[in-house]
A and B are shown apart, each in its own frame.
Chain A
Amino acid sequence: MKKLFSLILICALALSFASCGGGGNKDEKVIYIGVNEPATGESGAGGKQETLGIQYANTVAPTVTINGEEYQVKLVIVDNETDTAKCPSVAQSLVSANCCVVLGAYGSALSIAAGPTFEAAGIPCIGISCTNPQVTLGNSYYFRICFLDTFQGKVLADYAYETLGARNIYCLAELGDDYSVGLVNYFCEEFKKLGGNITASETYPLGTSDFSSYIANAKKANSDCFFAPINIEPAALVIEQSNAQGLGMPLLAGDTWDSNVIATAATGTNLEIAFSTFFYSGANDKTKEFTKGFQDWLKANPDKLTDNGGNDAVAAVSPLGYDSYFVALEAIKLANSADPKAINDALWNVKYTGVTGEVAFDTNGDVDKDAIFMVGIDTATGAFKFITEQGAVD
């Protein structure tokens, strides 16, 4: 017993020293970019698609030049399990892996939970699809390349009021999820300002699979629109159960719904679904070119295709992930250094035009976007259909 125990301890010590020693070969010109994304759990499907965008970008531009020397860019990908409790540890593992800049995360809650760790370590982060204002607010190391929920909430409220003609809206958010709670909050503010009425704003606890009562509540309150900007997995359940219970009103949601999981769930139902998103593949030549390149890459790599959900539909988070990688490269080039602090300073001055639009950071580290794509689902075929590109009406 004692022998076994001492053996374990010795092994442990040996291992820890071994890994201290092997901290990285200095002769090899490698620069590490961290990817903090969920690959499992509620946001796993979306996180994987975002990671695919980054990986694709990495195959397009595998090197970066610093001080005239070519560095190989290696991605350090970690899975935060869509669990805010795991985020600090996962963030620490990226810090320890000597990442000079980190990309991610998919969800706002995950980004907020990881943020302080990166801030404490002085490593800049580029948020990809985390839309809650809290991500970058008061954290000078967190940037973001997508629009904010204050803006998205406004656009969605306008859309609901003007285009859908809704006056009574039922809102559903996930308890403790910064993204959905925040977006519902901004949405309600704007919608009330427009003169609309919120029939109820409810939350469901994580892991809920029975949404029938929420759907019944929306119907009972005579709502004329169901606003549910929730994660992909529960959203698929809401769609399925709304269809079974005959919801009888349009479903409206935010950027999370841009996923082939949602499209599959909606296929064959008689629901009207609309959501806001970052990207529409048919928008211009640049987006079409990206879509083609990305789809070819997916088809060439069967395991990547599996990660994308089994088909080659392009989710908005993939091009967004793609852009984030190039923004990071721009910052590294601008800083002309692999030092996180220098990259952080350089990020404020980065100007980059990606497939999802212009990127230039303001004093909060956010990008000022002026329009959002509204997309619907053709429930007969399961294809996304472009509705409109909408700016905020003031």
Chain B
Amino acid sequence: MKTVLTAFIGNACFCSIFQSLAAFFRANLPYILAGISVGGQYALIAIGYTMVYGILRLVNFAHGDVFMTAGLICFYLSLVMPLYISLPLTAAFTVLLGFTIEKVAYKPLRDAPRTSAMISALGMSYLIQNLALYVTGGLSKQYPQIPFISRSVTIAGATTKMVTIITPPLVIALVAALVVLIKYTKIGMAMRSVADDFDTSRLMGIKIDQVISMTFIIGTFLASIGSMLYFTNYTAIVPTSGAMPGLKAFVAAVFGGIGSIPGAVIGAFIIGISENIIKGLGWTTFSDAFTFALLIMVLIFMPSGLFGEKKTDKV
């Protein structure tokens, strides 16, 4: 009798929790959809941050601006050629840009103190933004419509763009490919080794420069894919477009445990969803501040993030 009763009560509790959860999801579906979509785009940027940090111990402030530049490159290319050529070319040019930035701005400072490299990253970010300002004349540019993913669709009463639905599976597929690359290829093994111990790897004969270049290539490639998804949703590109997504992606990387790729992805989704829910609750003034508050909390109480390696030198 007693057990039946408790089971019944437990069941009722469970049901009501489930129901209220379901109600919450129904009421907040548009926010959650927007959050998943933007979270996936943050994730693609965050991977670049987390990989570079994992290997160079450098916060690559220019990464967000590379992301913005990818948008601009696509805009200018699509003026003169069809999309099926301009999109791959965008990715190629962005990768070239990331590769060049590393060679020009970070490589000469490899043995300098960490703050020098960070200042160089800040300077690089400043340079890219100002170049973009100069080239665009300071007016926003309208990102080209990519057929199919720009289309509107309706799910469970919430209308959104196709890109929202495509983003999560695409991100997961890309991350899976990346994980395979890191786990099973020679260059992936080298990357893990360099991330683990920079100096020893160098002594072991790993070509450090090659590994670092590869890291930047992968990071910027993913950022360029991210920019295609992001700007299809939010179509205006201005020189500062990359700054906020860049910072948020960095926070996501820290949240997930810097150096950890799955961590960065999960962190990015959490940040994307929670910032949209906060906006939905009417706390719009604090939607950006929330991200930073989360960052500080993580740094203080959980310095290695969700999935980060325990031995870090943050504290």
Where the two chains meet, the residues of A that have a C-beta atom closer than 8 Å to any C-beta of B are 39-42, 44-45, 48, 79, 81, 175, 200, 202-205, 207, 209-210, 212-217, 219-220, 233, 236-237, 240-241, 243-246, 264-265
Contact = CB atoms under 8 A, between A and B. Distances in A.
B234 A236 contact: no
B236 A236 contact: yes
Given A216-B30, A216-B158, A233-B238, 15 more contacts: A40-B137, A44-B139, A45-B139, A175-B285, A203-B284, A207-B244, A209-B236, A213-B284, A214-B279, A220-B30, A236-B140, A244-B152, A244-B161, A245-B152, A245-B159
A216 B31 contact: yes
21 contacts: A40-B133, A40-B137, A40-B138, A40-B139, A202-B282, A202-B284, A203-B284, A203-B285, A205-B284, A205-B288, A209-B234, A213-B31, A213-B276, A214-B279, A217-B279, A233-B140, A233-B238, A236-B235, A237-B234, A245-B159, A246-B154
Contact of A81 (B137, B138, B285): B138
A241 B31 CA distance: 13
A41 B138 contact: yes
Contacts of A241: 233-234
B29 to A, nearest CB: 9
B interface bracket (residues with beta carbon within 8 Å of A): 20 to 34
B139 A244 contact: no
Contacts, number: 93
Interface of B: 27, 30-31, 34, 38, 133, 137-140, 142, 152, 154, 158-161, 233-236, 238, 240-241, 243-244, 276, 279-280, 282, 284-285, 287-288
Nearest to B162: A244
A215 B30 CA distance: 9
Contacts of A81: 138
User: What 7 A-B pairs come out closest when comparing CB atoms?
Assistant: A40-B138, A216-B30, A213-B279, A209-B234, A246-B159, A212-B34, A244-B161
A217 B277 CA distance: 10
B160 A245 contact: yes
Nearest to A247: B159
A41 B240 CA distance: 10
Contacts of A202: 282, 284
Contacts of A45: 139
A45 B136 CA distance: 12
Nearest to A45: B139
B34 A216 contact: yes
Contact of A217 (B238, B244, B282): B282
Nearest to A81: B138
Nearest to A209: B234
A200 B282 contact: yes
A204 B160 CA distance: 20
B287 A205 contact: yes
Contact of B30 (A39, A79, A219): A219
B159 A39 contact: no
B243 A207 contact: yes
B240 A207 contact: yes
A81 B142 CA distance: 20
B138 A210 contact: no
A292 B158 CA distance: 46
Nearest to B243: A207
